[in-house]
Amino acid sequence: MSLIDEAAAARPNAYAPYSGFKVGAALRTSSGKVFVGVNVENAAYPQGTCAEAGAIAAMIAGGETRIAEVAVIADSPEPVTPCGGCRQKLSEFAAPDTPVTMASVSGATLTMTMSDLLPGAFAKSAMDR
């Protein structure tokens, strides 16, 4: 199953009672393991948490820390990019040349690298003294 297929299979499980905008994400680690996530909304924070953040949390809980590839899918006219916060979270665990494939349920896809999605990402080295 492709990474987009993994994200698409998880997407229906998203909890989006406020926006109705369900997003699925999947990531493959450098060891080849796949982790999925979905967006989760709640009354106090209707924007909710993002699908990519859920996949990252699952990855960390699974003992992995390096992302080799990412996929995200939503029901939108064009492929949607990860939000700014998720781009930063992804950059913590992915190299600048890591491919991120974005897709719509209608089949449109767009692949970019992490550095294309988040040029000038904040890094731990910025705190070096």
Q: How many CA atoms lie within 13 A of 92 on its CB side?
A: 14
pTM of the shown model: 0.93
Integer Cα distance of 127 and 113 in angstroms: 24
**Of 6, 52, 78, 92, which one is the catalytic site residue?**
52
Residue corresponding to tokens 């999925």: 36
What is the mean pLDDT for each group of 10 consecutive residues in the chain (129 residues)?
Answer: 97 94 97 97 81 96 98 95 92 96 97 94 84
* pLDDT at 106 (0 to 100): 96
Ordered domains of the chain (ranges, CATH): 3-120 (3.40.140.10)
Residues of each annotated binding site for Zn(2+): 50, 83, 86
Could you confirm whether 92 is annotated as catalytic?
Answer: no
The pLDDT of residue 29 is 98
Rounded-to-integer distance, Cα 115 and Cα 105, Å: 25
Mapped onto helix, strand or coil, the DSSP state of residue 103 is strand
What DSSP line would sit under 30-98, residue for residue? Answer: TTS-EEEEE-EEETTEEEEE-HHHHHHHHHHHTT---EEEEEEEESSSSPPPPPHHHHHHHHHHB-TT-
